[in-house]
Chains A and B, each alone.
Chain A
């Protein structure tokens, strides 16, 4: 099986093409291997989030191809793309985006419900995942009763629940204090190392950048530097 998880070629995205065009991503080509722990960095407006959205199939690129695990997602119809995301891509958002009326257990379980996984398997996996992120004692707690760091850990567990090919995290530590951020990074590094899970972050956070084994710098929608994939294998 190929280790190539993401193969994006010549992808571009321009917002407001008919009024004031803003080229958010400009002819970017990049590949990512299974098990990478990669940080996308760059100043605000450099196109980090747009690139993540394009790779995650949340937005459509104007040009180029994005092949994920052998499937060109730029050719998928909307419903097929949603289904592809469900089974292949995990998301962690800056603002956690947990469902407020569901408990931590239900938030993690929810994505497996969409995948039609049976109850016994769901319960077992939710328990394991919340154990892994250190929240086994918060299973029945709603997001409003959790700290920011705890909510983001639930989001990590939710992202892992669907057994994705890789996880995209948009500024995952931006809303966290340094202790929570460090704790979250430890968990993600552990998952990367033990489960060979691929993580791609967009971040400004120096602590995240220091922990990343590959750093891609974007400026004005273009890759200005890439530390390369030589350092991507788990230590």
Chain B
């Protein structure tokens, strides 16, 4: 394979290389446009020192460490240009940001569905126990306690369902993170630059956020049935 490129002084340089192997990643576009060559063989053709590099990529453990790492590197090597992956590939950054916003919309839709479910369940509970609630009001249970009764009942319902749901979700994600989800044929997904097998992962913080959001949604959803319960007229409900 003959490769032609510009050297350090912008002269056209060429080199012939023997193909030692063909690699295949999950991104066929990238595979078609990239070759790997020994640095020791390439650098003399480029007219640069055998140890020199035009780019060093550093893989961090988390995106949250980017700012700190960039500050440290800029301070340590002021003569070099330090860029994050977001500076190099703003379109990827924009796509991830868009995906995050889409995820928020999905979470809102799911919480709305949860809210409707809770309102429906608790309204049914109030309707089924109209007579009992009317009796409690008649005997002297004050409105704050009746309101609290419905809200606490909702809370306990959620406290029963939420950990169970989280456990099932966690177990599913644990299984799929190992075995993955195959979405399409390898070549189809590779042409878009993706792996055909997805390995979902949900950080621990997300579980906590979901629990908090579910509890808040449940408590807010219980207000409507609780207010309905307060509006019951004990004289009418006892007769019913």
Contacts and interface: CB of A to CB of B under 8 A. Distances in A.
A93 B135 contact: yes
Contact of A97 (B143, B144, B238): B238
Contacts of A100: 132
Interface residues of B, number: 17
A217 interface: no
Contacts of A76: none
B234 interface: yes
A205 interface: no
Nearest to A111: B139
A58 B140 contact: no
A117 interface: no
A178 to B, nearest CB: 25
A67 interface: no
Contacts of B235: 53, 58-59
A178 B234 CA distance: 29
Contacts of B234: 58
Contacts of B187: none
B140 A83 contact: yes
A86 B140 contact: yes
B238 A93 contact: yes
B140 A97 contact: no
A49 interface: yes
Given A58-B234, A114-B145, A85 B132 contact: no
B141 A97 contact: no
Interface string B183-207: 0000000000000000000000000
A78 interface: yes
A82 B141 contact: yes
Interface string A146-176: 0000000000001000100000000000000
B228 to A, nearest CB: 16
By DSSP majority rule, is chain B's interface helix, strand, loop, or mixed? helix
* Size class of the A contact interface (CB-based, 8 Å): 20 to 34
Contacts, number: 53
A82 B140 contact: yes
Interface in A77-101: 78-79, 82-83, 85-87, 91, 93, 95, 97, 99-100
Contacts of B137: 82
A111 B169 CA distance: 43
Interface in B78-93: none
A79 B143 contact: yes
B107 interface: no
Contacts of A111: 139-140
Interface string A24-63: 0000000000000000000000000100010010110000
Interface string A97-131: 10110000000000100110000000000000000
Contacts of B238: 58, 93, 95, 97
Interface in B113-143: 131-132, 135, 137-143
A97 B179 CA distance: 56
Nearest to B146: A82
B64 interface: no
Interface string B142-163: 1111000000000000000000
A85 B239 contact: no
A162 B140 contact: yes
26 contacts: A49-B239, A56-B138, A58-B138, A58-B233, A58-B235, A59-B233, A59-B235, A85-B138, A85-B139, A86-B141, A86-B142, A93-B238, A95-B238, A97-B131, A97-B135, A97-B238, A99-B132, A111-B139, A111-B140, A114-B139, A114-B140, A114-B141, A114-B142, A114-B145, A158-B139, A162-B139
Given A82-B137, A99-B132, A158-B139, 7 more contacts: A56-B138, A79-B142, A83-B140, A95-B238, A114-B140, A114-B142, A114-B145
